[in-house]
Structure 1
Amino acid sequence: MTDSIAYKGTIVVSGATGKQGGATARHLLKRRFRVRAMTRNLEQLAAKQLVSLGAELVHADLDDRNSLERAIEGADGLFSVQNFWKVGYEHEIAQGKCLADLAKSFGVRHLIYTSVASCYRKTGIPHWESKWQIEQYIRELGLPYTILRPTSFMDDWVDMKSEIFAGMFAQPLDPQRSLQQIAVDDIGAFAAIAFDNPKEWLGREIALAGDNSSMEEITAAFSRVIGREVQYVQTPWDKFQEKFGDDMTTMYRWFNENDMEADINYLRSIYPSLTTFEQHLVRGGWSTVKE
């Protein structure tokens, strides 16, 4: 990128070296926004890769208000994401509220907050309830906002890759139970679309998914892509809770009894490149078969 490029505005991206933030930064750069990528470690590989794409790095910590002020001052937009699994319930809420406060103080014209689908439905799932608290606070402040509500991440199955390649996909959900999923890269795509089209996106909350498949269908997709038979094994709830804890168990019990609300056909009309689960597996290197 050179100074001759006509940029559309400066967007500050929190979590820029993580999954959602990184995807958002990349899609914004493709759309010729200036990206100010917040990171605690300017030397990590993910940060350097963003620089190579044209991003500006800024040292900032979600627990250091002064560093956040320096990062956000003068920005047109802010992408806000926090990591519950690293900081916990109260801390996630505090970080989300702090970014919202600073967006208000500096007159940011568009705040995009990435939440979770169905967080408003009183699920009792701690890492969904925390995001609902942040959502409500953003609205209370009267900020110009868009809230993206992703469903389950397709990317997370990589943690089970060795088990799946060994021929077993184990989950506690009923075999015919469907699960809406989204590729993290597509979250970034929708964030960039929203920043690029504020008139259509300000004041909206929208659930994001690119696929809605049952456990049996997901298992069949694994089998097709890796080229070997995979069996679905329904894990007993007590064994799942023993391994993954109360929060994850509460969430999966909710999945087993409730449907997510993402309108995949509508989302695909906005973003025709929306990723299906099988496409995600192929693109993610689960198979040597080319798409």
Structure 2
Amino acid sequence: MSMIDTSKPILVFLAGGVQGGAVLRAARARGFKVRALVRDRPCAAALQAPGVELALGDLGDAASLAAASTGIDHAVLQVPIGPAAAMTAQAESALAAFKAAGVKSFVLKLASASRPAPCEEPSFVANRMIEDTARAFGLPFAIVRPTMYLDNLLKPSALAEIMGEGVFAPPIPASQRIAWTSADDCADAALMLLERGAMGGDHRIAGPESLTGDELVARVSAGLGRTIRYHGQPLDEFEREVDAAMGQGVGRRVASKFRYFAAYPREAESILAQPFAPQPSLEDFRPTDVEAWVRAHRMKFEDADA
């Protein structure tokens, strides 16, 4: 039985992106209305659907956040990746709007798993700062965080390599085991927690299997009906490619988490490798396996090959 008043919409942040879009779909599939926060009108137009109310706004615009939060009881908050200080400021703006509007609870979707102890890796620092900020505001909330997203296979550069060259080449050695999850699974978990009023937990969402790179591509190959090879891209090469695409210095920031995993294999094992285990309020959550996920997204792969 849902503990949410279904007459009111759930506020979904970054609704025009991969993660927010998954939350929007999961909410609608469960029969909830959605208020979708998006930054621009072209993106908003693509989201128009029954049960979806559009709110133009930005995490840097306090007035738009106040308007988006008015009349809302529950939200799924995620902050775009960037420098830790900027991410924390954006989270503070959203939380201040929640507090002022009387939001009752929210799920905080973080971009990755975190170490329990402090460290200097920038993405983990940002996670910790956002978590601390959320606790300081005193509103009931739960955290959902992934191992590693299968949705990385659907990035244009990865699709081009997978379908054009038969290779998946992330900056991760083939020996590293990962229990890959997906944006859709993390969104489902977030909605289950909201639906059940299960606040206070920190939920690591993982896939059902711990896979090496070669095991991963064997399942991808089975889903696609064609052979895909795994190639762990050297981190220096990965950084140069990111810099060329996104600007000097971006590569080092993006690669820092992968360098951390390479330097601390025990941490990588605990953060990435363990399959999903039943958790309070997610006892009946069933993670999607890689082959089933690939089959569900097969059209996106095939479109890239057209």
Q: How does 1:253-268 map to 2 (within 5 A)?
A: 253-256=259-262, 257=265, 258-259=268-269, 260=271, 264-266=276-278
Does the aligned pair in 1 maintain the 2:32–2:51 contact within 8 Å? Answer: no
1:91 equivalenced with 2:89 (yes/no) = no
What is the match of residue 175 of structure 1?
174
Q: Secondary structure, in 3 states, of the residue corresponding to 2:21?
A: helix
Q: Does 1:162 align with 2:160?
A: yes
Aligned partners of 2:179 and 2:275 also within 8 Å: no
- The residue type equivalent to 1:279 in the other structure is A
1:74 aligns with 2:71: yes
Q: Secondary structure at the match of 1:264?
A: coil
CA RMSD of aligned residues (A): 2.4
Which residues of 2 match residues 1-291 of structure 1 at below 5 A?
7=6, 9-44=8-43, 47-84=44-81, 87-115=82-110, 116-159=112-155, 160-165=158-163, 166-198=165-197, 201-211=198-208, 212-244=210-242, 245-256=251-262, 257=265, 258-259=268-269, 260=271, 264-266=276-278, 269-272=283-286, 274-285=287-298, 286=301
Deviation at residue 91 of structure 1 after TM alignment: 1.7
Which range is displaced more, 153-162 or 62-71?
153-162
Moved more, 221-230 or 55-64: 221-230
Structure 1's consecutive aligned runs of 4 or more residues displaced over 4 angstroms after TM superposition are none
Give aligned-pair identity as a percent. 26
Distance 1:91 1:172, change over 3 A: closer
Greater strand proportion:
1
Letter of the structure 1 residue corresponding to residue 137 of structure 2 = L
**What secondary structure does 1:133 align onto?**
helix
**Counterpart secondary structure, 1:266:** coil
Amino acid at match of 2:152: D
Provide the rounded CA distance (Å) in 1 between the counterparts of 2:7 and 2:189. 17
Alpha-carbon displacement from aligned partner over 1:54-113 (angstroms, at most 9, x marks no partner): 1111121111101110110221012111111xx533222111111112212222111211
CA distance in 1, matches of 2:296, 2:11: 28
Q: Does the Cα contact within 8 Å between 2:220 and 2:290 map onto a contact in 1?
A: no
Distance in 1 between the 2:275 and 2:218 partners? 23
TM-score (norm 1): 0.85
2:84–2:129 Cα contact (<8 Å) kept: no
Instruction: Classify the secondary structure of the residue corresponding to 1:38.
Output: strand
What residue ranges of structure 1 are gaps of 5+ in the alignment?
1-5
Q: Which deviates the most, 257-266 or 143-152?
A: 257-266
Instruction: After TM superposition, give the deviation of residue 146 of structure 1 in Å.
Output: 0.9
